């Protein structure tokens, strides 16, 4: 039973790490969160797709930048 619990924790950790760009975009209220999620979902398994989604999520969108400066 303990092995099943550890496997479950590893699975949760993997899912969290896989969708990290989406989580970052959502927490930063990025205007393209849905597009980042789709990119992350379909190309996140490649290192290039995951890094591209993460860079896009971290990059300030113009709309987010304008809302914060008001």
* Percent above pLDDT 90 for the chain: 79
Q: How many residues does the chain have?
A: 70
**Which structure tokens are listed for 47?**
């290192």
Distance (Å, whole) CA 48 – CA 70? 35
* pLDDT at 44 > cutoff 60: yes
Could you tell me the pLDDT band of residue 3, with boundaries at 50, 70 and 90? confident
| Mean pLDDT value across residues 39-54 | 96
Q: Indicate the number of domains in the chain.
A: 1
**Which structure tokens are listed for 37?**
């999620």
* Closest listed residue to residue 27, CA positions, set 5, 58, 62: 58
Q: pTM for the whole thing?
A: 0.80
| Mean pLDDT value across residues 28-51 | 96
What range defines the domain where residue 18 resides?
2-69
CA distances, 63 to each of 29, 32, 40, 58 (Å): 10, 10, 21, 14
Higher-pLDDT residue of 26, 65: 26
């Amino acid at each position: 039973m303990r092995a099943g619990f550890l496997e479950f924790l590893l699975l949760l950790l993997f899912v969290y790490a896989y969708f990290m760009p989406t989580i970052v975009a959502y927490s930063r209220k990025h205007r393209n969160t849905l597009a980042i999620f789709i990119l992350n979902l379909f190309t996140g398994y490649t290192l290039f797709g995951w890094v591209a989604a993460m860079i896009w999520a971290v990059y300030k969108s113009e709309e987010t930048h304008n809302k914060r400066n008001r």
